[in-house]
Amino acid sequence: MAFPCPLLLTSVHFLVQWVFSYSISALYPDYFGGDVVRNMPWITYLSVSVPCGFVTAADVGLSNLSLVRISITFFTMIKSSSPIWVLLSAFIFGLEKITCTLVAVGVLIMLGELLTAFGEVEFDMIGFVLCAAAAVCSGIRWTLVQFKVQRLDPPLKSSLVTMRVLASSMFTCMLFLSIVIERPWNKLGAEHGDYFTNFENGLRTISLGLTGAFIAIAMVLCEFWLILRSNAIVLMIGGVLKEMITILVGVTIFGDELNVINVSGIIVVFLGVLLYKITLFSADKEVVAEDDDNGRFSRINSGDVYEDEPSSLRRSKILKNSDPDLALKYSIDDDDSDDEHPLRRIHLNDSRPMELETSHVII
């Protein structure tokens, strides 16, 4: 069924996501953190929801418009340039430091995209520009979500309440784009199709929207979980792998054609992604080595909350702590004249053993 209003359909997906996340987090506020959103000031809520919702709507809207003009395979190859824009936006927001290696990653992926576009047999400039703009919005989208969500105080407790915060603006912005671009009141009439001509067709159309909505819920929950536990760049790496599978589906099922130049571009893109993963792994190893050599700070693994530990408080034997919610609370001893270690006492929430995990440094 070639539904003529994909933006409207996507807005329905976002609406269902908001209803679902609102209902579940309201029914189980202690478990999912619905009380955090309920007590959140409106200015804070809007400062997170509106910009993220707008960029998301732009990403999805431009993607859908580009698919009208280009094949799914070409779309996927161009959209896989998103890591470039994730890196650039991460630099802008201060989430990543500019290094020669990361710049090389961006240049390598960009060269791969140029090869991919040059090798396209049925090249459409408008479709290419729309898809490239969607890739830019996609990179900004996830970096912006990370930048906004991870700075909330108190933090969001789950990916479900993250969806609750963002989905309302995503629905509003997408519905606005649908009204402006698609004009659904003209395209859903009987003269353009049988989508609502009788009860059976109407039920089938609604089922199409709801099925896609619940699939989108599962996908977005996974994405938000990664954002809360990791970062936008790691998410985009997984997204590139997903896009490569999409290319295989486009070639094998939809009959999209690839040539040597296309395949070369895909390989170059993968090399750029692989280079980034190797760089990320090497950086983590260096941080661990520096932590062990300096012996100054350690990372307390307690969900999303991290604190710094003075070296004078280290134990000769590190104990295992099975309580992930245990956090350290520091107090400053004003009477202590030793300025080298101003943090003197640790107060624990309970008397159970504490884990001090010394694998990373957070400064």
Task: State pLDDT tens for residues 2-26.
Answer: 677 888 888 888 899 899 989 988 8
pLDDT of residue 46: 92
Task: State pLDDT tens for residues 265-274.
Answer: 878 877 877 7
3-state secondary structure the chain: CCCCCHHHHHHHHHHHHHHHHHHHHHHCHHHHCHHHHHCCCHHHHHHHHHHHHHHHHHHHHHHHHHHCCCCHHHHHHHHCCHHHHHHHHHHHHCCCCCCHHHHHHHHHHHHHHHHHHHCCCCCCHHHHHHHHHHHHHHHHHHHHHHHHHCCCCCCCCCHHHHHHHHHHHHHHHHHHHHHHHHCHHHHCCHHHCCCCCCHHHHHHHHHHHHHHHHHHHHHHHHHHHHHHHCCHHHHHHHHHHHHHHHHHHHHHCCCCCCCHHHHHHHHHHHHHHHHHHHHHHHHHHHHHHHHHHHCCCCECCECCECCECCHHHCCCCCCCCCCCCCCCEEEECCCCCCCCCCEEEEECCCCCCCCCECCCCCC
Task: State pLDDT tens for residues 164-174.
Answer: 898 899 999 99
pLDDT of residue 120: 63
The pTM for the full model equals: 0.63
Q: Where are the domains of the chain?
A: 6-290, 295-363
Which parts of the chain sit beneath pLDDT 70? Answer: 1-2, 117, 119-121, 190-192, 223-224, 227-241, 243-244, 277, 280-281, 284-363
pLDDT of residue 362: 35
pLDDT of residue 270: 75
